[in-house]
Chains A and B, each alone.
Chain A
Amino acid sequence: MNQPELIVQLQQGDGSAFKKLVDEWQDMVYNTALGIVQNADDADDITQEVFIQVYRSVSSFKGDSKFSTWLYRITLGKALDHEKKKKRKKRFGFVQGLFGADGAEQAHAVEFEHPGVQLEKKERAGELFSALKQLPDNQRIAFTLHKLEGQSYQQVAEIMNTTLYAVESLMSRAKTNLRKELKKYYENSIAE
């Protein structure tokens, strides 16, 4: 069954079409979410939410863009919402801590290990992911889509609904900021 047929069947409420869709796209959705939230359980949660939303709103998919583009946008939206919620909880936890509540304030986040990274590069990759968290959302998205999902700059521009030039600029700024963060980190760790 090809993609357009699958979408049509899904729009007609076909349960088996939904299963085929999940089987085909689950790794893409999971990997994208994982790149943003850097936590396997959260990424799994987000993946479920994405497919539930796809099931509920597939009738609104008009085919103006590719299905994968639509799916990436939903995934990135859910992942970023999740990050915003987490930041709000952290802020509230800090306020609770001021009033003597037993809030859990982590001094330094545990480094994330992406399961797809080669063993000999895991340590450096963990440091990269920590630095990635410091980037603004747009730069983070562009970097994740290009480096982790292997999307070309043109494809990234389509997903982010922007121009190729804008994506090139985002990637350039992302790399500059990452170099800055990593340099800071290595200067401190070598000095210790």
Chain B
Amino acid sequence: MNKQEQINKLVEAALDSVDDAQRAEAKPYLFTRIQARMSKENATVWEKMGWFITRPAVAFTGICMIVLINAAVIFYNKTGTPVTNTELAVQNTTDEFSYTVSGIYDIENTQP
């Protein structure tokens, strides 16, 4: 048998290969999967949001973000501008012995 005859034989064999094929069977529990899919599609916005938030990756990311933000706030408050004791004392004395009297008297009374 030459090459061309061999090829022709293979081609015809391929064309006839599905002649006695049985119908493929659907996977088991198809109806259950259909029902699940339909109820998922009918879910309310809140239910969909709930499903999304409870996904492990989303929940884990959310918790990490909250922890990081809290840590950043605490860290920022701790490392605010330092005020020395001396500066505080001077400020307190100035406030206590302040001679500045502000009232309508001073504003209107321009005489020395």
Q: Please list the residues of chain A having a beta carbon within 8 angstroms of any beta carbon in chain B.
A: 19, 22-23, 26-31, 34, 40, 43-44, 47-48, 51-52, 55, 114-118, 121-122, 124-125, 127-128, 131, 147-149, 175, 178-179, 182-183, 186-187, 190
Summarize A's interface: helix, strand, loop or mixed: helix
Partner of A183, one of B7, B25, B41: B7
Chain B residues whose CB sits within 8 angstroms of the CB of A19 once the complex forms: 31
Q: Please tell me if the beta carbons of B37 and A48 are within 8 angstroms of each other in the complex.
A: yes
Chain A residues whose CB sits within 8 angstroms of the CB of B20 once the complex forms: 118, 121
Q: Please tell me if the beta carbons of A147 and B38 are within 8 angstroms of each other in the complex.
A: no
Could you give, for residues 6-40 of chain B, a 1 whenever the CB lies within 8 Å of some chain A CB and a 0 otherwise? 11101101111111111111110011011001100
Q: How far is the CB of B40 from chain A (nearest CB, A)?
A: 11
Add 14 more A-B contacts to A26-B26, A29-B26, A121-B17 (CB < 8 A).
A19-B31, A30-B25, A34-B24, A44-B26, A51-B34, A117-B21, A121-B20, A124-B10, A125-B17, A125-B18, A125-B21, A128-B17, A147-B19, A182-B15
Q: Please tell me if the beta carbons of A148 and B21 are within 8 angstroms of each other in the complex.
A: yes
Looking across the interface, which residue of chain A has its beta carbon closest to that of B23? A31
Contact of A52 with B24 at beta-carbon distance under 8 Å, contacts A175-B15, A182-B11, A182-B14 already known: no
Looking across the interface, which residue of chain A has its beta carbon closest to that of B13? A124
Inter-chain CA distance A179–B9, complex, in Å, is: 11
Across the A-B interface, give the 5 residue pairs with the lowest CB-CB distance, nearest first. A116-B22, A30-B26, A125-B17, A124-B17, A26-B26
